[in-house]
């Protein structure tokens, strides 16, 4: 915390020297075909023309927008919702200058990374993973193009984060909330953007470099602007700081909008993404002691171990306005995804704490998502109450085929098939080629998950100062699992048919607005998440009830100082029931047995602010206190234990200042400071109260910007003070510790025409 305060003091001194912070890169897309412009801007400041550089007007946009489209499916301001929602604009993403969305999380209030996949994060104390398809949605529907690589920012218009138990409009969600990516859509104004990004980081193995080349082209096809197009692409090749680690992404996203009439639009979007990366399960902590972790550059996989994933998506959106404010929307999204891995997993640390046990691993996973959502919004009056009604239907199917092609736990020495590797000085030459190991325990799991729901939500205005919201969802979930285990003698097939479950989920909220800029609210909301299709009760049956979340929240939203200061406050308590605990199996069955007897609870407060002290100076900051614990369990040592990877205290600030007049015109500076307090990385076990403790950390980032003509040059230094820190312990605790990146450098050139 001390280094964070020192950084804030440094920021004050830097910013005191200037008088403006702007976004020379341009505004967030507005007027998108087929959608509402949820990310609004604070306005445009026209500066005197500079004949030497011809910089022209500077467009100023806020880091946080004021729309709440994701939270309500209504085009209304955030202050009219009894929920916590933050909308992070393109200006925010451009200021931080990153090519991957996950790098933005540490500057989002109440959000933190919690693993090595694009889905792994913590929101309000509850973790999400690749099995939570709705943890990160795209335009309100589930399914990223890839699961491990984080979404590229070049295709993102803005990001909306909805917090709390929010299943009413979208179906299954972890009770902490979810992230919704609002993609870039075709625009009526012709424009082109080209972005070249280079990265560099010093390691004991030499300086590692990387690049990303992005483009974004949009505009009308015909003279009447009936047909609009957009094509976005990315090609990258980055050597990362860990030994022999790399990422090579390819991304292409064409889209076509058809303005059929003044009242009807159609939008068709496609995505293709392929990512090849080194296979990496990260660090281990011998004896659950973070002080005994090897260097952050240490890798326990072979240099040839690799992981590949390919995803293809197609999305159709139809919108029609009937008049009198009645509006109909239809969304459909198809995702086809395949990933493969070939390498050595870390299984455990050997009892001597000097060697790592490894598994020869081959895996091919295929997933298909088909999800649709259609809803009607309609305003009407009953007596003295004005209503804004949302009524919709959702249906979707997820089909997974997870195939082990190799799964061999290598024995310790002196076996000729050992794959052990040293914790502190790994020798990669001691292992046999992966194909030389036995195939081990193989299986092929095919599962189907079907989700349907009918929902209603009504925003009611009782008077100029009072509003209320009521919502209800009828949800139906079903799952089926086929598990096939080959054998030389008797191949076996296990079918677990998860019984369909039906649940009614309510929500309600009350809003008091004493002025045009201040809102107080209180709300109750609910959520559910079906259990894994592989889960079974003591009798070997799969009809386990879903986890259910309940969220109670009070808060305020205020805009003052001539709309240059926006502050939100929230206090919450979230409880998740039906959490599975391991129990003894009664009937003869394969695998482990579970019972829905656990409960987890998170409570805390959040404060988020977006300030514009001067016409061109932006400050985004936030603080979150989160106390997340296990409060019901059949394991005595886990009672009241802290949930893993959840910092009790989390704070951040990012500020950007740009000069818009004088000799230094076009020059800007950005400073970011993110703090996370200590966390636990594991839960206690039935036999031990010991846990892995992850120390707190503060990371400081510094950026310099220069805008001239149509170009912006950004030079960013990440982790300025080269702090060693650990982002999380992933989902396997002691053997999946994810280190933060050391000091690194980014140089980006962005041209917009």
Residue that the structure tokens 């036999």 belong to: 687
φ, ψ for residue 304, nearest 5 deg: -90, -5
Predicted local distance difference test score (pLDDT) of residue 62: 79
At 480, list the tokens. Answer: 């089926």
Which of 197, 222, 346 minimizes the C-alpha distance to 283? 346
Query: Across the chain, how many H-helices and E-strands are there?
Result: 3, 38
| Distance, CA of 447 to CA of 398 (rounded, Å) | 8
**Contact assessment for residue 554 and residue 525, using Cβ atoms and an 8 Å cutoff:** no
φ, ψ for residue 19, nearest 5 deg: -145, 10
**Contact assessment for residue 160 and residue 82, using Cβ atoms and an 8 Å cutoff:** no
Count other C-beta atoms under 10 Å from residue 705's C-beta. Answer: 28
Q: How far apart, in Å, do the first and last CA atoms of the chain sit?
A: 43
Three-state SS across 578-603? EEEEEECCCCCCCCCEEEEEEEEEEE
Three-state SS across 208-222? EEEEEEEEEEEEECC
Three-state SS across 509-575? EEEECCCCCEEEEEEEEEEEECCCCCCCCCCCCCCCCCEEEEEEEEEEEEEECCCCEEEEEEEEEEE
Alpha-carbon distances, residue 743 vs 287, 298, 641 (angstroms): 29, 17, 34
| Distance, CA of 129 to CA of 132 (rounded, Å) | 5
| Distance, CA of 478 to CA of 496 (rounded, Å) | 11
Is this structure's pTM higher than 0.85?
Answer: yes
What would the CATH number be for the domain defined by 2-752? 2.40.170.20
Rg (CA), the chain: 26
**Contact assessment for residue 531 and residue 547, using Cβ atoms and an 8 Å cutoff:** yes
**Contact assessment for residue 321 and residue 749, using Cβ atoms and an 8 Å cutoff:** no
**Contact assessment for residue 398 and residue 367, using Cβ atoms and an 8 Å cutoff:** yes
**Contact assessment for residue 279 and residue 341, using Cβ atoms and an 8 Å cutoff:** yes
Predicted local distance difference test score (pLDDT) of residue 48: 35
How many CA atoms within 13 Å lie on the side-chain side of 448? Answer: 10
Please give the helix or strand (H or E) that residue 4 lies within, else none. helix 2-16
Domain extent listing, the chain = 2-752
Given a cut of 70, the residues of the chain with pLDDT beneath it are 1-61, 483-499, 589-590
**Contact assessment for residue 208 and residue 185, using Cβ atoms and an 8 Å cutoff:** no
Buried/exposed code over 416-453 (b: 16+ C-beta within 10 A; e: otherwise) = eebbbbebeebebeebeebeebeeeebbbbbbbbbbbb
Coil, helix or strand at residue 391: strand
DSSP 706-751: EEETTEEEEEEEESTT----EEE-TTTGGG-BEEPP-SEEEEEEEE
């Amino acid at each position: 915390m001390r280094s964070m305060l020192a950084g804030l003091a440094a920021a004050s001194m830097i910013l005191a020297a200037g008088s403006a912070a702007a976004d020379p890169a341009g505004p967030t897309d507005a007027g998108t075909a087929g959608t509402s412009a949820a990310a609004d801007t604070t306005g445009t400041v026209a500066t005197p023309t500079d004949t030497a550089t011809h910089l022209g007007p500077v467009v100023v946009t806020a880091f946080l927008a004021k729309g709440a489209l994701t939270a309500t499916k209504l085009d209304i301001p955030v202050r009219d919702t009894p929920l916590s929602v933050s909308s992070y604009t393109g200006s925010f993403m451009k200021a931080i200058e990153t090519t991957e969305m996950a790098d933005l999380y540490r500057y989002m209030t109440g959000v933190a990374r919690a693993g090595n996949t694009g889905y792994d994060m913590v929101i309000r104390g509850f973790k999400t993973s690749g099995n939570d398809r709705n943890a990160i949605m795209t335009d309100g529907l589930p399914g990223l193009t890839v699961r491990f690589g984080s979404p590229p920012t070049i295709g993102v218009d803005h990001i909306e984060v909805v917090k709390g138990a929010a299943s009413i409009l979208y179906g299954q969600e972890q009770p902490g909330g979810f992230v919704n990516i609002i993609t870039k859509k075709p625009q009526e104004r012709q424009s082109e953007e080209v972005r070249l990004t280079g990265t560099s980081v010093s390691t004991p193995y030499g300086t590692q470099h990387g690049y990303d080349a992005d483009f974004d082209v949009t505009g009308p096809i015909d003279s009447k602007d009936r047909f609009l197009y957009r094509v976005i692409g990315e090609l990258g090749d980055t050597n990362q700081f860990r030994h022999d680690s790399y990422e090579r992404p390819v991304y292409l996203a064409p889209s076509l909008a058809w303005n059929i009439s003044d009242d009807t639009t159609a939008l068709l979007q496609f995505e293709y993404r392929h990512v090849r990366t080194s296979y990496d399960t990260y660090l281990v902590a011998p004896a659950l002691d973070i002080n005994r972790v090897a260097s952050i550059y240490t890798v326990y996989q072979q240099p040839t171990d690799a992981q590949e994933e390919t995803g293809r998506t197609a999305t159709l959106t139809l919108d029609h306005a009937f008049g009198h404010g009645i509006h109909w929307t239809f969304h459909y999204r198809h995702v086809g995804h395949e990933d493969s891995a070939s390498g050595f997993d870390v299984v455990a640390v050997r009892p001597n704490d000097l060697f790592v046990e490894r598994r020869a691993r081959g895996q091919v996973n295929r997933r298909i998502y088909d999800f649709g959502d259609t809803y009607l919004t309609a305003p009407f009056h009953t007596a003295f109450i004005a209503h804004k009604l949302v009524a919709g239907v959702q249906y979707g199917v997820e089909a997974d085929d997870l195939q082990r092609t190799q799964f061999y736990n290598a024995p310790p020495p002196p076996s000729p098939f050992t794959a052990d590797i040293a914790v502190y000085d790994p020798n990669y030459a001691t292992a046999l080629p992966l194909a030389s190991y036995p195939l081990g325990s193989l299986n092929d799991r095919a599962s189907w998950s079907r989700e349907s729901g009918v929902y209603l939500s009504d925003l009611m205005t009782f008077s100029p100062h009072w509003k209320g919201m009521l919502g209800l969802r009828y949800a139906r979930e079903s799952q089926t699992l086929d598990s096939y285990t080959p054998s030389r003698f008797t191949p076996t097939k296990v079918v677990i048919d998860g019984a369909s479950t039906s649940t009614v989920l309510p929500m309600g909220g009350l809003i008091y607005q004493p002025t045009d800029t201040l809102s107080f609210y209180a709300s109750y909301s609910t959520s559910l998440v079906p259990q894994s299709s592989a889960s079974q009760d003591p009798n070997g049956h799969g009809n386990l009830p879903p986890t259910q979340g309940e969220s109670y929240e009070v808060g305020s939203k205020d805009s003052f100082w001539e709309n240059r200061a926006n502050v939100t406050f929230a206090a919450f308590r979230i409880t998740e029931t039906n959490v599975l605990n391991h129990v003894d199996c009664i009937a003869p069955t394969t695998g482990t047995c579970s019972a829905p007897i656990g409960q987890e609870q998170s409570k805390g407060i959040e404060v988020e602010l977006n300030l514009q002290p001067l016409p061109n100076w932006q400050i985004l900051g936030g603080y979150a206190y989160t106390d997340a614990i296990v409060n019901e369990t059949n394991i005595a040592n886990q009672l009241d234990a802290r949930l893993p990877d959840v910092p009790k205290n989390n704070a951040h600030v990012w500020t950007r200042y740009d000069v818009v007049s004088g000799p230094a015109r076009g020059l800007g500076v950005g400073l970011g400071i993110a703090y996370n307090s200590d966390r636990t990385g594991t839960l206690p076990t039935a036999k031990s109260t010991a846990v892995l403790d992850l120390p707190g950390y503060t990371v400081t980032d510094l950026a310099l910007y220069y805008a001239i003509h149509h170009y912006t040059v950004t030079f960013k230094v990440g982790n300025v003070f080269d702090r060693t820190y650990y982002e999380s312990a992933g989902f396997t605790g002691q053997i999946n510790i994810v280190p933060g990146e050391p000091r690194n450098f980014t140089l980006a050139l962005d041209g917009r025409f």
